[in-house]
Structure 1
């Protein structure tokens, strides 16, 4: 008779505030046999807080392939395992990809639990369009690759979510401002759920300026959310308006010509100014 296989539980953990863990996550961590953790010492802080004593095995980006093969054997032998990362939902920019793929290959049951995720937490508070968005993970550390990625995303119409570290945030924001535009709406969320939580929304140029003037307050992992690309609307003025503006311009100053044309045709002066400057 074949022995019953174990189950792999994907268990999200708090991204800062330890009380953000769910009752179900605690229940699962108490009943499983092994915890597969990104960092053993980090996970010990969490489970000690909830009086959980378990065997913890390190599964990180350096040993993920080999450790996943060993864990699959234990799952096949009937052991139940919880996969956790340092913070948030496992496999989202964290180890777990290989283990989960092996589980699918060997028909091991996978049970994902809902829970914390910095990207979604920040998005919910961004005030930017969130019915369609794309997640790009950590922004590349190398300047050339980073600029190439941002340039490729220039015309992306969906809201874009990035992760970034405190030591690279200013360099990345400079490139975002340059490649996506100084007027792009940005939400910067740092230290989410912690005592020093901060959520800033402004144009990219103003966010960059704030960062450059507050270097001492930048710490921890940061979520950057940028609004999607929007085509600038080109307002086509009627020919009669353009003819009148041209005639008035030949006799009066630009300011006076625009003022009179706007009054005659009940058109915004800004629209007329935009038309003139776009022709230069």
Structure 2
């Protein structure tokens, strides 16, 4: 890689669990910049030590981002180059950094992406739900009333919904989702991505809620909740079930989830939809 450019901020994605999930370009950038702005300097120092990198660290979190942005702007205008990292994954995705990037771009500073890990994309890639259209909703409000209002506003969306959730709020969020969409709604919970105990649980909200209620020892680590598409507002009863199921199966969705979606969209019996999906899959 060529030397890091003066007056440039590099937004660098870092591992979400497995420390080997970092690009060669990211390591080169982190070695060459004048400083690294980090959400938690202690956390980032461990990553840098693992790769034998020693660079000045500057804290940048939600409580000091506005003032820190002005300080870093001056340093970049004076010809320095820096990197922005979060605790894990891609900065700005439910992490600090948006205020800094906006301020720098407004001032004409070059901001360059050094892409890499993202829990959002990693979870979508292994959940088995539709990925042609999806919406990332980030973290739900911690208070029950506000959380319920947000979920109610999302009902009826004809695409996959993705949420981040802390372990101590996982059960409450799943219960709230079940109250809105029902126990049979397609859902998957992905935990501990890229780590030793990575897990993918569930087919429906009822199943994942029952599982984690029965296994409280597994309610730990950062979680990604994915909800399957809701019934399209313009769904037509004239749609051919075989065509609908065939399209879903071609997208890599399991026969069970495809049958659940088709039964809601077309008013089919789930057992009949599942048998049809199995026969199409074999064919």
TM value normalised by structure 1: 0.81
Aligned partner of 2:57 in structure 1 is 56
Deviation at 1:63, TM superposition (A): 0.5
Per-residue CA distance 1:90-125 (angstroms, 9 max, x = gap) = 011111111101111111011101100001100011
Matched residue SS, 1:188: strand
Gaps of 5+ in 1: 236-268, 272-280
Question: d(CA) in 2 for partners of 1:111 and 1:92?
Answer: 16
Q: 1:270 to 1:136 in 2, by over 3 A?
A: closer
Question: d(CA) in 2 for partners of 1:172 and 1:154?
Answer: 15
Aligned partner of 1:102 in structure 2 is 103
Deviation at 1:200, TM superposition (A): 1.2
Mapping for residues 33-48 of structure 1, pairs under 5 Å: 33-48=34-49
Say whether the 8 Å CA contact 1:134–1:161 is kept in structure 2.
yes
Per-residue CA distance 1:107-158 (angstroms, 9 max, x = gap) = 1011101100001100011111101000000011110111111111110111
Question: d(CA) in 1 for partners of 2:155 and 2:83?
Answer: 39
Aligned partner of 1:228 in structure 2 is 229
Aligned partner of 2:130 in structure 1 is 129
Matched residue SS, 1:167: helix
Question: d(CA) in 1 for partners of 2:105 and 2:63?
Answer: 22
Per-residue CA distance 1:193-242 (angstroms, 9 max, x = gap) = 0011001131101110001000111111100010011257658xxxxxxx
Aligned partner of 2:155 in structure 1 is 154
Mapping for residues 125-274 of structure 1, pairs under 5 Å: 125-231=126-232
Aligned partner of 1:74 in structure 2 is 75
Question: d(CA) in 2 for partners of 1:91 and 1:104?
Answer: 15
Question: d(CA) in 1 for partners of 2:157 and 2:200?
Answer: 23
Question: d(CA) in 2 for partners of 1:134 and 1:33?
Answer: 36
Say whether the 8 Å CA contact 1:183–1:203 is kept in structure 2.
yes
Runs of 4+ in 1 over 4 A off after TM superposition: 231-235
Question: d(CA) in 2 for partners of 1:158 and 1:217?
Answer: 28
Say whether the 8 Å CA contact 1:5–1:108 is kept in structure 2.
no
Matched residue SS, 1:20: coil
Q: How many residues align?
A: 235
Question: d(CA) in 1 for partners of 2:166 and 2:236?
Answer: 36
Matched residue SS, 1:225: strand
TM value normalised by structure 2: 0.80
Matched residue SS, 1:137: strand
Question: d(CA) in 2 for partners of 1:150 and 1:216?
Answer: 27
Per-residue CA distance 1:236-271 (angstroms, 9 max, x = gap) = xxxxxxxxxxxxxxxxxxxxxxxxxxxxxxxxx969
Question: d(CA) in 2 for partners of 1:270 and 1:154?
Answer: 22
Gaps of 5+ in 2: 239-267, 271-283
Say whether the 8 Å CA contact 1:150–1:180 is kept in structure 2.
no
